[in-house]
Chain A
Amino acid sequence: MPESATLTDADRVALWLASPEGTAALRWSLEKLRLPVAFDTDLVGMVIHAADRMVQRGDVIESVPAWTRRTLRLRAIDLMKSPRGRPAFIQPEDVDSPAGAGTDAADAAELVAAMDLAEIRREIAGRWDDRSGWTRSASLTYLSVAIDGCAPGVSCPAPIGGADEFDAAHWAGLHYADQRQCFAPFGERDDNTIRQRRKRRIDDVRKILVDAYVRTQADGSGAGDHG
């Protein structure tokens, strides 16, 4: 398979930025606004990030040089402006994945035991998108409780009995990710709907953890920084 067929548009943008033409465009973008040369790495990072988001959305970059030149200019201009208000992404109620789609708790237990935490954490946070935001947030909290041994605060709900040792960590993950709809109001008992919803969301978090683990193993990153 030719190399070009395996490259994403974001890869092509990164390659163009490394070319003499791209380097010149980068330098010109900084000079035009009298920005320090030391900002070049940040600017490249911002442009590649924008290209990644295009790929995630399924948008196509028709002309890599044109798109990259324009994005370089816009990102440099952004530094001159106040941050814009951005509509908050609302998690729709009906986006739960089907029940039982996750891994079982025992798998997760084995998994976390072998984790290279630093790389896993980078992997989880590095693949952020609006739709998966809360699951990634909950996954990071899960690691803090299950692996680092953090004790949740007094307002965090905890399973009462019959739960496995990692359930409390998952509950903490959902709580700190502000998934309030997964718990009954204070003083009330969970009904079946809430229990099912919580289970589905915990499954979603497990999937993120498994995916991050698999990816870090595939990347070969990994000798043991356990935090």
Chain B
Amino acid sequence: MAELLPDQQYIGEWPDDTAELVLLGTTPGPAGSYELQLDTITVAIDAADPSIVNWITGVEPAGERGAFNWSLLERLIGAEPTRSTIALLRTDDRVRFGPPLTTGPQRGAGWETERQATMMNIIIGMSLAADAGLLPYERALGRLEAFQRMSELWLPRDLDDWPDRVHEAAVDLLDLPPNRIDPDVRDLVATVFEQTASLLDDQLLAARLRRMAIALGPAELFVASEQAMDFEKSVRGAGAAAPARAAMAPSPMPVPAQQPVEVALHSLSYLAALKVPSINRTSGDEYEVRLTDWAGRADGWWVRGFRGNDAVPLAVVPMSIDGDDAVARFLVAPSQAASLVVDIVDDPSHARPSAQVAAFRAAIASGKRAAQLERLEQRPQAHDAWQRCSELHTVAGDESRASAAAAKAAGADRTRRRAVRGSSTTAVINDWIGPVTPETA
């Protein structure tokens, strides 16, 4: 069987005191990594150049020294490197930094087979499907598209929980509202429904997904299903209970902010989709943070307001749904508002990162966006995103990645890009749907 990852040099790291094997390939470039975890093995590829493997790690099941999923590892990195890995693990004289496990062509030589290209798409697809800011059905679509590709490579036979994973994601698809899917990607979504149905053991669920695929297919059927939904809504509305307070309460009118409020670069909406919230003062002391059209994407997120000069927390409030938007409101006294800094996080127990680390994370987000735009073949926008990525890496103090991103922006890396594109730059479904769409670049 052909190896799924390109023949590269790895360095094995096997610390004496951990049950984890690390095969280091190449350090990530300006856009960071895409990562896939299968069973106990994790594979990371470079987001700027997916033909490069950044690292592979494996964790032993508790109490079973050396009991990795060898079959899966062999399928990922090939037979010879796997044999070398086993030899490294079995030696009594464990070395932390072993010799290269295999030698071969220079890194980045490109994906040599279609199987390797498929593997690359699986890793990108699964990685994007795990990102923050996705609605449950978007996450499910991304995972199921990758599952379908995994089944083409016979990977599921190494995964005990495969049927559960497929079933769980398929159930999430049932929440997909047809009128939320852009007509341009309806066919793509319908294909995922069809393919998922073929993977399921549950025939009832499979039949339901096939019906939904048909509803998504031809335009006439799509319109009909939309009208049916509108009708259902109007029927439900007629007998509905009194609307909740928030819906009936008088709408606060925005009043001009005294000065612009700074939004920290590490805010989740920015890291997930380069989305900057709008901030308005809605009354004397009340501020409103709004992510337009993000209802449901920011569930469980919190907005924090800090005094800028000494980072004293002034407010931490949850984001909630307001119509189509995600919104949070909080109070800050005028005396504190002059230096107000706002961030959006999913875990308020985390300290605010330094300015350099915040810039680094934003640079990685911008690089990932650039890579996504390249997959969508939107070159001018990709150029701008690489440029922004380079600027942010400079702010972070990472000159090496700043230069690499600038080279991408300048098109200096065209040769490699062509090599990768030659085998596959197929956009995965989460490149088309999700919080970042091509139009909102």
A residues in contact (CB < 8 Å) with B: 32-36, 38-39, 41-42, 45-46, 49, 52-53, 63, 65-66, 69-70, 73, 77, 79-89, 118, 121-122, 124-130, 133-134, 136-137, 140-141, 144-145, 148-157, 172, 176-178, 180, 183-188, 227
Q: Which of B308-363 contact A (CB under 8 A)?
A: 310, 312-318, 320, 329-333, 335-336, 346-351, 353-354, 356-357, 360-361
Q: Does residue B177 face the partner (Cβ distance < 8 Å to A)?
A: no
CA–CA, A41 and B365, complex, Å: 22
Given A35, A127, A134, which contacts B398 in the complex, CB threshold below 8 Å?
Answer: A35
**Number of B positions contacting A (CB below 8 A):** 84
Give, as a whole number of angstroms, the nearest-CB distance from A106 to chain B: 24
In the complex with contacts A89-B300, A118-B312, A183-B245, A178-B286 CB distance below 8 A:
no
Do the beta carbons of B248 and A33 come within 8 Å of each other?
Answer: no
Tell me the complex Cα distance, A134–B130, Å: 26
Whether A227 lies near B27 (C-beta < 8 A) is no
Most chain A CB atoms below 10 A, which of B17, B252, B301: B17
Q: Is the CB of B332 within 8 A of A88?
A: no
A137 contact set on B, CB distance < 8 A:
302, 315-318
**With A and B bound together, what is the CA distance between A34 and B301 in angstroms?**
31
Q: Does B299 contact A (CB under 8 A)?
A: yes
Task: Collect the chain B residues with CB atoms within 8 Å of residue A227's CB.
Answer: 307, 312, 333, 335-336
Q: List the count of A-B residue pairs having beta carbons below 8 Å apart.
A: 221
Closest A residue to B311 by beta carbon equals A122
Which of chain B's residues have a CB closer than 8 A to the CB of A118? Answer: 310, 312
Q: How many Å lie between the Cα of A154 and that of B329 in the bound state?
A: 12
Query: What are the residues of chain A within 8 A of B314 when measuring CB–CB?
Result: 121, 140, 144
Main SS at interface, chain B: mixed
Interface centre among B133, B314, B329, B347 (most CB of A within 10 A): B314
- Of residues B24, B130, B349, which shows the largest number of chain A Cβ atoms within 10 Å of its Cβ? B349
Beyond A137-B302, A186-B243, 19 additional pairs, beta carbon < 8 A: A39-B357, A42-B356, A53-B349, A65-B17, A69-B15, A79-B357, A81-B33, A81-B35, A85-B139, A86-B132, A87-B300, A140-B314, A150-B286, A153-B282, A154-B249, A155-B250, A176-B330, A185-B244, A187-B242
**Complex partner residue of A85 from B130, B243, B283, CB under 8 angstroms:** B130
User: Known: A39-B356, A82-B271. Contact between A133 and B312, CB under 8 A?
Assistant: no
- Per the bound structure, the CA–CA distance linking A81 and B335 in Å amounts to 38
List residues of chain B with CB within 8 A of the CB of A42.
353-354, 356-357
B397 in the interface (beta carbon within 8 A): yes
- In the complex, how many angstroms separate the beta carbon of A87 from the nearest chain B beta carbon? 7
Q: Say whether B312 contacts A122, CB under 8 Å.
A: yes
A83 touches B28 (CB 8 A): no
Report whether A133 and B348 are in contact in the complex, using a CB–CB cutoff of 8 Å: yes
A75 → chain B, closest Cβ, in Å? 11
Complex-state Cα separation, A178 to B246, whole angstroms: 10
Cross-chain contact A154 with B252 (CB below 8 angstroms):
yes
Q: Is the CB–CB distance between B351 and A49 below 8 Å?
A: yes
Chain B residues contacting A154 (CB-CB under 8 Å) are 249-250, 252, 283
Look across to chain A and name the residue whose beta carbon is closest to the beta carbon of B348: A128
Whether the Cβ atoms of B133 and A36 lie closer than 8 Å is no
